[in-house]
Amino acid sequence: MTDAPLQTRFQEIVNSVRDRLSLARSDRPKIAVQVGHCGASIGASEVAHAVAERFSDTASVITAGCDGACFAGPSVVVTSKSGHVYRLDYMEPDGIGRIERALEDDVLIVHPTAAEDFIGYQHRIALENCGFLDAESIDDYIAHGGYSALVKALQSDPADVIREVKDSRIRGRGGAYFPAGLKWESARGFSAARRYMIVNCEEGEPGLFKDRHLMEGAPHRLIEGACIAAYASDATDIIFYINAEANLSARRMEVAIRQAREIGLLGENALGAEHDFNVAIRRGAGGYVCGEETTLINTIEGFRREPRIRPPYPVESGLWSRPTVINNAETLASVPFIISNGAEAYAQIGDGTDTGTKIINLSGAVRRPGLIEVPLGTTLREIINDIGGGPPDGSSINVIGVGGPSSGIFPASMLDTPIKPGFLHESGVMLGAGAIIVMDDSMDALSVVRNLAQYNANESCGKCTPCREGTPRMVEMIDSMARGTATKDDIDELSNLARLVNDASLCGLGQAAGNPILSGLHFFRDELISKAKS
């Protein structure tokens, strides 16, 4: 536990930040260009370059991450001298005249944009200020209250920090939904000279892009949450495990780590507290299975990307056989809110049973695809229709893929299903890490099931026989249905095989590989059976 000098030292940092920002910005307008992987693919980097060339002498031009309204990019947010905020979407490099008009204030009649409506429906905690703060400036983050939660935690006993997180009832947001505070407490309970904290940003699953957005738009929030978790669990080494292809994410995390280290928030005796935060980045080894925590540990240690038999669990014997806490990026991005506002404030969000918010990755046949953060208990209808705008004109929803290839599919009749941790339906549909892919009537259920089954077969690491042999066999049986050569007995055999693979596989990939098939047979049975011979 630390005392007043720590707060004094942090206040000195805050004062220094305010002085620097005051000198840099004075009364200048602010222009935030949102550049993430999504926006960069449609010209956001070129927009940022054009804006910097034109306005760097007259305005504070910053590069932010994407705020989740991916459908509207490239996006620019202009804050005029008078404080008016204008959002300009679908920007092009030669469209900077729109920014000039926004800076004049009086010539614009502003109506809410589709992106503002999209965000307005949401309840943002993990994504707070994502897309509006400078993604490569620790000063901007601190000026908006950043790292104050870490300071508050460092002034508390670790047991009190754990108790606060346990009282909030936050569960891990990586898909397994294990109580975060309990995981920290468990790791701290095992005797060890050294403990590790791993932030799982692998996100190799199709339809997922939430961790990427957090790293690109709120890197310091992730560092702050990870440091709080490390302090509570008595870990001194923090490793960010980042997908091998997420290059922009890794670069922005590298910048943020360096900045935090330079001002004394990381390293030995951070802020003068009696706790070290040694932070490093490791890149993923490639493959969906790397998101499984013991596979992740294997790859860091230099072994094959395959899971370990449990127990022991990582909190007892993880990285280098030491107690290891593994949390998803989204989980840790919510922790600063809990520490700053208290467990009760977080617990009041949600449906009363499941607390807090969940980031949803919405894609497919919707008008407004992107990243959404809503309270648990929100229905699929609210997410897809109210926030996502529903399917485009002339089409209708046929299949909803929920939770990725380790989950299953819903028909449109299940739109009123609320999102919650774990299973959304007994057929095997799970919320998982939060992917929702909407498919219109141009896609049939059999094709969707086949694609998901093929993905699981391709991504199997091959270590255990049920998954290695069972997943490709399921694909073969689905193909026979598509050719019209399968019998109804074959369909029963497929169902039995899907259950067997789920029950007998070693890790989460195989244990859920049968879910797309089981949910498909449950909700689209007549359609699938019509493909089979009598």
Whether 464 is in a domain gets the answer yes
Residue type, 489: D
Among 314, 347, 380, residue at a domain's last position = 347
3-class state of residue 106 by DSSP: coil
Q: What is the pLDDT at residue 484?
A: 87
Half-sphere exposure (Cβ direction) of 347: Cα atoms closer than 13 Å: 11
Give me the mean pLDDT over the 493-508 stretch: 95
Any domain includes 215 = yes
Domain CATH for 378: 3.10.20.600
Residue at which a domain ends, from 302, 326, 347: 347
Query: What's the mean pLDDT in 216-240?
Result: 98
Residues 203, 252 within the same domain:
yes
Asked if 330 and 479 sit in the same domain, the reply is no
pLDDT digits (tens, 9 = 90+) for 41-77: 999 999 999 999 999 999 999 999 999 999 999 999 9
Is the domain of 98 the same as that of 156? no
| Three-class DSSP category at 522 | helix
pLDDT (tens digit per residue) in 265-279: 999 999 888 899 999
Least confident of 164-168, 237-241, 392-396: 392-396
**Length of the chain counted residue by residue:** 534
Q: What is the pLDDT of residues 142-158, one digit of tens each?
A: 999 999 999 999 999 99
Percent of all residues in the chain with a pLDDT value above 90, rounded to a whole number: 82
Mean pLDDT score of the chain: 93
What's the total number of domains in the chain? 4
> Residue 116 sits in a domain of what CATH number?
3.40.30.10
Question: Does residue 362 contact residue 388 with C-beta atoms inside 8 Å?
Answer: yes
Query: What is the pLDDT averaged over residues 197-224?
Result: 96
Task: Using the predicted structure, report yes or no on whether residue 128 has a pLDDT greater than 70.
Answer: yes
Task: Tell me how far apart the alpha carbons of residues 368 and 375 are, in angstroms, rounded to a whole number.
Answer: 19
* Other CB atoms within 10 A of residue 506 CB: 21
Residue 141's pLDDT is 97
What per-residue confidence (pLDDT) applies to 28? 86
472 belongs to a structural domain: yes
Closest CA to 70 of 267, 290, 247, 217: 217
pLDDT at 110: 56
Same domain? 363 vs 435? yes
**Where is 295: in which H helix or E strand?**
helix 293-300
Provide the H-helix boundaries in 96-200.
97-104, 114-120, 138-143, 148-154, 158-168, 180-189
Residues 341 and 400 in one domain: no
User: Rounded mean pLDDT of 132-144?
Assistant: 96
Q: CA–CA distance from 239 to each of 72, 279, 337 (Å)?
A: 34, 6, 22
Q: What's the mean pLDDT in 389-395? A: 94
pLDDT recorded at residue 2: 47
Closest CA to 197 of 244, 237, 149: 237
Res 139: pLDDT: 96
pLDDT at 25: 64
Based on the domain organization, do 240 and 332 belong to the same domain? Answer: yes
At 459, which CATH number? 1.20.1440.230
pLDDT, residue 105, reads 66
pLDDT value for 78: 92
Same-domain status, 320 and 378: no
Decide if pLDDT at 483 tops 60: yes
Q: State whether 59 and 107 are in the same domain.
A: yes
Unique residue bearing structure tokens 């929702």: 436
Same domain, 150 and 242: yes
pLDDT at 107: 52
Domain of residue 28, residue span: 4-120
pLDDT on residue 1: 45
Tell me what pLDDT residue 527 has: 86
pLDDT of 533 over the 80 cut: no
Q: Is the same domain home to 175 and 306?
A: yes
Which of the listed residues 415, 443, 471 is the one where a domain comes to its end? 443
User: Do 115 and 153 belong together in one domain?
Assistant: no
pLDDT above 70 for 182: yes
Single-letter amino acid code for the residue at 523: F
Residues 6+ apart with CB under 8 A from 306: 289, 295, 298, 461, 462, 463
Residue 437 near residue 400 (C-beta atoms within 8 A): yes
Q: Is the pLDDT of residue 526 over 80?
A: yes
In a domain, 132, yes or no: no
Query: Mind listing the pLDDT tens digit for each residue in 290-329?
Result: 999 999 999 999 999 999 999 999 999 999 999 999 999 9
Residue 84 has a pLDDT of: 83
Give which of 375, 67, 345 is closest to 218, Cα–Cα. Answer: 67
**Does residue 379 fall inside a structural domain?**
yes
User: With 70 as the cut, is the pLDDT of residue 108 above it?
Assistant: no
Residue-level pLDDT at 101: 85
Same domain, 271 and 370: no
Q: How many CB atoms lie within 10 A of CB 144?
A: 13
Nearest-CA neighbor of 222 among 195, 248, 240, 204?
240
CATH code, 235: 3.40.50.11540
Is residue 499 a part of any domain in this protein?
yes
Tell whether the model's pLDDT for residue 109 goes beyond 70: no
* 125 is a domain residue: no
Question: Has this prediction a pTM greater than 0.85?
Answer: yes
Instruction: Please name which of 99, 108, 104, 46 lies closest in space to residue 77, comparing C-alpha atoms.
Output: 99
Q: Is residue 534 part of a domain?
A: no
Contact 403, 176 (CB under 8 A): no
* 282 residue type, one letter: R
